[in-house]
Amino acid sequence: MSYIERGTIAFKKVNLALFAGGFSTFAILWGTQPLLPEISRDFQVSPATSSLVLSSTTIALAVSMLISGSLSEVFGRKPIMTLSLALSSILSILTALSPDFHLLILTRVLQGIVLAGLPAVAMAYLGEEIEPKSLGMAMGLYISGNSIGGMSGRIIAGALTDYINWHAGLIGIGVITLLSSLIFWLLLPRSTNFTPKKFVFTQLIKSLFNHLKKPALICIFIIGFLVSSIFASLYNYIGFELIKPPYNLSQTLVGFIFIVYIVGTFSSTWMGSLSDKHGKGKILYISLFILLMGSCITLNTTMWIKILGIAVFTFGFFASHSIASGWIGKVSTHDKAQASSLYLFFYYSGSSINGTTSGLVYSHFGWNGLVTLIASFSVLAIVAAVCLVSITTKKSKYATRMGLSRNSKCK
C-alpha cells in the first residue's frame, strides 16, 4: 500500500478538503442550535419539543450512517462524500423556507439522511490513505474542521436571526456550505488504497454485525454514545439558560458564546497528536476528566466562570471524540467504513435520544439537574474507557507472546 505521508502536498490537500467537508457538515447540523429559543417562540412549542429540530436530524443521520458506510464500500469514498455535501447544502436553503413546525422537522430529517455521507466515510478514508503514524494528527485536523463548522454555523445563524430572522440564518449557512463543498470536491485526492466490492446485501449486513462481536469496538461505541449525549445535553439548553435572568443575553451574544469551539479545534489536533506519542488510553482518560470538570464549573452562576466552564468542557469533548474516533481504524481490521459508520450511529443516537430527554430534566430540575445528568454520563464514559484500555492491552500482550513463540519455533 502507498500511504500519504505527513509534509507532502497530498497530505495538505487531504486535510484541507476534509476540514472543508467537516466544516460544511457541522455548520448545517448544529447551525439550528442557537435558534431553538426563537423556533420555540415562533411555533409556540416547548424547549424539549423545539430540540426535535436537532434530534430528528441526528437520529436520521445515525441510521443513514449504516447505509452510507456500506454504500461507500461499493461506490467509493469520494463520490459518496461529495454528493452528501452538495445535497445537504441545498436542503439547508429549502429548510429555511419551512412554513410550519412539522414541515421544518420533515426537511431536517431529509437533511440528516443526506448528511450521513461525509462523516460515515471520512474516517475510513483517512484510515486507508494516511500513514499510520500521522493518523492521529490527521483525524484531529478533521475533527477541528467539525468544531470550526459547528462554531461558525451557530454564530452566523445566531447573528442573522437577531438582525433579520431564523430563516435568513439558515439560508446564509446553505450558501456558505455550498462553497465549502466545491473546495472539498476540487482538493480531495481520489482513493488509492480502496478496492470496491460487489453489492451483495447479505455480505454487507454480515460484515456490519461482525463489528458488534468485538468487545473493544463495543467500548468505543459506548464512549461515542455517552460523549455525544453529554455534548448535546449542555449545548442544546445553554441558550435557554443565558437568555433568562440574570444574564438576559441577545441571540447574537448567545451565538457568540459558541466561539469557545476554537478551544475544541485546538484540543482535537493537539490531544490527537499527544495520543500518537503517549498512547491513546492515557490521553483519553485525561480528556474525559477535563470534560467532567468543565461541566461542573458551569454550575457557577457568575457569567465569566460559566463561560470558562463551557470552554473547558468543549476542550475535553473534542479531544475525547477525536481520540475515540481515531481508535476505530486501529481496532477494526476490515470494512473500516462500516466500523466508522457504526461508531457514528451510536454517537448520533446519543445526541438524538439524550439531546431531547435531557430537555425534560432541564425543564423539571433546572441547570443543576442537567449538570448532574451530564456528570453521570461522564463517569460512565470513563468506566468504558478503562474497559477499552484493558481489552486492547491484553490483546497487544497476547499478540506479542504469539509473535515471540513463532520466532522461537522458527529458530
The domain locations on the chain are 9-189+211-403
The Cα angle at residue 270 between residues 328 and 136, in degrees rounded to 5: 25
pLDDT tens for the chain, 411 residues long, are 678 888 889 889 998 998 899 899 889 988 888 788 888 888 888 887 888 888 888 889 888 877 877 777 777 888 889 999 999 999 998 888 888 899 999 999 999 999 988 887 887 788 788 887 787 778 777 877 877 887 888 788 888 888 888 889 889 999 999 999 999 999 998 888 777 777 666 776 777 778 888 899 999 999 999 999 999 899 888 888 888 888 888 867 776 777 787 887 788 878 878 887 888 899 999 999 999 999 999 999 999 999 999 999 999 998 998 899 878 877 876 667 678 778 888 988 898 888 888 989 998 999 999 999 999 999 999 999 999 999 988 866 655 555 545 555 555
DSSP 205-268: HHHHHHGGG-HHHHHHHHHHHHHHHHHHHHHHHHHHHHTSTTT---HHHHHHHGGGHHHHHHHH
What is the longest distance spanned by two Cα atoms in the chain? Answer: 78
Q: Alpha-carbon distance 396 to 386, whole Å?
A: 15
Q: What pTM, to 2 d.p., does this model score? A: 0.74
CATH 1.20.1250.20 fits 9-189+211-403, yes or no: yes
